[in-house]
Amino acid sequence: MLHNSLLTTAAVLGAFLTQTVSSFSQLSARQTSLETYLTNEEPIAYKGVLDNIGSAGAKVDGAQPGIVVASPSKTDPDYFFTWTRDAALTLKALVDRFLVTKDPSLELLIQDYISSQAALQGVSNPSGSLSSGGLGEPKYYVDKTPFTGSWGRPQRDGPALRATASLAYAKYLIANGNATTAKDIIWPIVNNDLSYVTQYWNQTGFDLWEEVQGTSFFTIIAQHRALIEGSAVAKQLGLTCANCDSQAPQVRCLIQKLWSSSGGYMYADVNANNGRSGKGTNTILASIHSYDQSAACDDATFQPCSSRALSNLKVVADSFRSYQINSGIAQGQAVALGRYIEDVYYNGNPWYLTTTAAAEQLYYALSTWDRIGSITIDSVSLAFFRDIYPSAVAGTFTKGSATYASLTSAVKTFADGFFAIVQKYTPANGGLAEQYSKSNGSPLSAVDLTWSYAAFLTAKAARDGKLPPSWGAQGATSIPTTCSATSATGTYASATNTAWPGRPAPTCGAGTSFAVTFNVKATTAFGQNIFVAGSINQLKNWDATSAVPLSADQYSDSNPLWHGTVTIPGGTAFSYKYIRKDSNGAVTWESDPNRSYTVPTTCQNGQAVATLNDSFR
Ligand SMILES: *[C@@H]1O[C@H](CO)[C@@H](O)[C@H](O)[C@H]1NC(C)=O
Ligand SMILES: *[C@@H]1O[C@H](CO)[C@@H](O)[C@H](O)[C@H]1NC(C)=O
Ligand SMILES: *[C@@H]1O[C@H](CO)[C@@H](O)[C@H](O)[C@H]1NC(C)=O
Ligand SMILES: *[C@@H]1O[C@H](CO)[C@@H](O)[C@H](O)[C@H]1NC(C)=O
């Protein structure tokens, strides 16, 4: 599964595969040069990602095809779920890798991911159904059933990130004569996600760290990019996304409002009363997600080389200098970065993926300066440059000049410094957990975090000059004179076509996952909600407290429909009942007898779907 151009010869690869663990334990990663570490760690990181993706992933038994599990860790913490965000960021990294390697097995995995998302979009969950906010649900069980426990929901970056990951593959298909596949299979999924973004971008939600309810800088950057890229791909497919076009400038307007000119940083969150300084690495992740290899150093889209993003990197990095493992590291040198300094999760520690993000931002900045042929230092970025090159002054320095050479060399050293920190705290077997201790650097929290590995891969690719394709940032720099609170409601429709050309049609049988839709007509008063519970795990074993919520988004007086979709293996026989809950928590079960149903084992139009049509008794 490893990509062999990473190592010089197949023989080296073979030797490496069999000796990965022992060679690392004989020579700890921290004792080798950075180059050696990066070369050795890359195949480990790639394998680390693949091991966590169903259904073939070595560490994630039970995960459905294309489902990206956050970590194999099932206790302390339990990350054995698929998060829409983590999965999409991971897949974006894999698509970008596929564009370089053209590895056919990787392409199948990308298709499996997209198919899995088509199904997940239809899974009713505590955030709603497909058309009533359900796309903002943060995480699901790895068998695609909804997680119904309490959680920080909704999280509005997920649909945007999923659109961006899916569009990356759609663009490849369009460029290679497969626009029909992009239009028939991928666009319906992307359209749902874009509809979610245009409808909800101006409402608060939980941030990527799942703690703050407000407006997260990372989320609005992700939403903005999805709208710009989505509209461009729509045009390529002969379609339009008018709501993308109407909302994107307003999202961009809001992006600018999070800039603290006095502090020289982007607020990580606003519209939230969380007692924090607002300095956080969510903004650094935002700059790398917004990076466009064809853009200039634009502040408007927070390009990695923009004055604002560089100033922000300095201010945010400085906010972590108080960690014990950073003590004694001079100003202007890289340090271990966490999420934000007020963090208390696992006592608040640096993370691998936030530390590599700083390196990645700086490698992208170097790429842009190289392409445009100059570096401009202004009053906003001067403090950043002075830290790493004390004689820096404002001005424009062209490629070929001594100052340009000194500045880029200083930035490269600074960038490599962040990778060297990650190297120092990578354990002997190369595994990347979620965090490393702020006091002694030992790995903490979830082991083998998929996102840590994916973040390593994208930062390494940036260092190697393998740049992700442009998303259209050059055309997205004008800022409306007035920012307005807006929203546009688009269309949602089940994405049912997952018949990828060149692949055998899906077969249905006992054990295949069927999307079973429960339709029940139940007249309800305001504040009353309808749920379904039954005799199987998927229906919560008759537990009224955790019963599966149904959606009323298609409810009308003439058709009082409540509905929801649950994934159940073909051939499963079960009994069930609907439940009404009043706003005061009072529970009413349907009258006897129990209902019963057996999930079919044959496909309908090539799809593993079934529909129940009931009336509340
Ligand atoms: C909605 O947009 C307005 C205008 O930019 C902004 O002031 C407000 O903070 C936004 N609210 C949210 C929750 O995004
Ligand atoms: C792309 O088009 C080629 C040629 O028609 C076809 O063989 C292949 O299956 C298509 N692939 C996808 C993913 O659409
Ligand atoms: C319905 O199922 C529940 C749980 O198995 C059981 O306790 C109850 O007796 C059943 N009701 C009828 C009428 O069979
Ligand atoms: C429910 O209605 C749909 C649409 O009319 C139909 O296809 C399906 O077979 C019905 N389900 C059952 C269990 O009869």
pLDDT in tens, 198-238: 999 999 999 999 999 999 999 999 999 999 999 999 999 99
484 lines ligand 1 (CB under 6 A): yes
**Is residue 497 within 8 Å of residue 184, measured between CB atoms?**
yes
Which of helix, strand or coil describes residue 484? coil
- Pocket-testing residue among 516, 604, 611, 614, ligand 4, by greatest number of atoms within 8 A of Cβ: 611
pLDDT in tens, 569-584: 999 999 999 999 999 9
pLDDT band at 508 (very low <50, low <70, confident <90, very high): confident
Which residues are registered as beta bridge partners of 193? none
Q: Which of 147-161, 163-177, 218-232, 507-521 has the lowest mean pLDDT?
A: 507-521
- More reliable by pLDDT, 605 or 509: 509
Q: What is the pLDDT of residue 512?
A: 80
What is the number of the ligand closest to the CA of 595?
3
Q: What is the pLDDT of residue 319?
A: 98
Can you tell me the distance from the alpha carbon of 599 to that of 337, in angstroms, rounded to the nearest whole number? 50
- End-to-end Cα separation, the chain, in angstroms: 54
98 lines ligand 2 (CB under 6 A): no
Q: What is the pLDDT of residue 413?
A: 98
Q: Tell me the CA–centroid distance for residue 146 and ligand 3, in Å.
A: 24
Q: Which atom of ligand 2 is nearest to the CA of 181?
A: 14
Query: Which DSSP helix (H) or strand (E) runs through 377?
Result: strand 374-377
pLDDT (mean) for 171-196: 98
In a domain, 412, yes or no: no
573 contact partners, CB below 8 Å, separation of at least 6: 596, 597, 598, 599
Can you tell me the distance from the alpha carbon of 612 to that of 595, in angstroms, rounded to the nearest whole number? 11
**Ligand 4, CB within 6 Å, residue ranges:** 611-613
In a domain, 589, yes or no: yes
Residue 151 labeled ligand binder: yes
- Among the three residues 204, 226, 250, which one is the final residue of a domain in this structure? 204
In a domain, 451, yes or no: no
CATH number at residue 17: 1.50.10.10
Dihedral pair phi/psi, residue 562, rounded to 5° = -115, 140
What is the number of the ligand closest to the CA of 518?
4
Q: What is the pLDDT of residue 31?
A: 65
Q: What is the pLDDT of residue 93?
A: 98
pLDDT in tens, 233-288: 999 999 999 999 999 999 999 999 999 999 999 999 999 978 888 999 999 999 99
Which residues are registered as beta bridge partners of 205? 214
465 lines ligand 2 (CB under 6 A): no
Which of helix, strand or coil describes residue 16? helix
- More reliable by pLDDT, 198 or 62: 198
pLDDT (mean) for 127-135: 95
In a domain, 158, yes or no: yes
Q: What is the pLDDT of residue 509?
A: 79
Q: Tell me the CA–centroid distance for residue 617 and ligand 3, in Å.
A: 15
Q: Tell me the CA–centroid distance for residue 614 and ligand 3, in Å.
A: 18
35 lines ligand 3 (CB under 6 A): no
178 lines ligand 2 (CB under 6 A): yes
pLDDT band at 25 (very low <50, low <70, confident <90, very high): very low
Task: Write the Ramachandran bin of 342: left for phi over 0, alpha for psi from -120 to 50, otherwise beta.
Answer: alpha
pLDDT in tens, 442-456: 999 999 999 999 999
Dihedral pair phi/psi, residue 40, rounded to 5° = -75, -35
Domain count, the chain: 2
Q: Tell me the CA–centroid distance for residue 322 and ligand 2, in Å.
A: 54
41 contact partners, CB below 8 Å, separation of at least 6: 29, 423, 426, 430, 456, 460
What is the number of the ligand closest to the CA of 170?
2
Q: What is the pLDDT of residue 23?
A: 42
CB neighbour class for 342 (10 Å; exposed up to 12, middle 13-18, buried from 19): middle
Q: What is the pLDDT of residue 606?
A: 65
Question: Catalytic residue numbers?
Answer: 207, 210
pLDDT band at 13 (very low <50, low <70, confident <90, very high): very low
In a domain, 36, yes or no: yes
In a domain, 60, yes or no: yes
Integer CA distances (angstroms), 617 to 249, 464, 544, 595, 608, in order: 50, 64, 17, 11, 28
In a domain, 240, yes or no: no
Closest among 301, 159, 282, 261 to 215, alpha carbons compared: 282
pLDDT band at 506 (very low <50, low <70, confident <90, very high): low
Structure tokens given for 206: 């939980």
CATH number at residue 607: 2.60.40.10
Closest among 522, 520, 579 to 545, alpha carbons compared: 579
Can you tell me the distance from the alpha carbon of 68 to that of 96, in angstroms, rounded to the nearest whole number? 17
Q: What is the pLDDT of residue 558?
A: 93
Query: Which DSSP helix (H) or strand (E) runs through 272?
Result: none
In a domain, 408, yes or no: no
What range defines the domain where residue 198 resides? 1-74+84-204
Q: What is the pLDDT of residue 143?
A: 85
Structure tokens given for 154: 């909704």
pLDDT in tens, 391-437: 999 999 999 999 999 999 999 999 999 999 999 999 999 999 999 99
Nearest CA to ligand 4 atom 8: 611
Q: What is the pTM of this model?
A: 0.83
- Among the three residues 204, 224, 249, which one is the final residue of a domain in this structure? 204
Q: Tell me the CA–centroid distance for residue 188 and ligand 2, in Å.
A: 19
- Among the three residues 204, 229, 254, which one is the final residue of a domain in this structure? 204
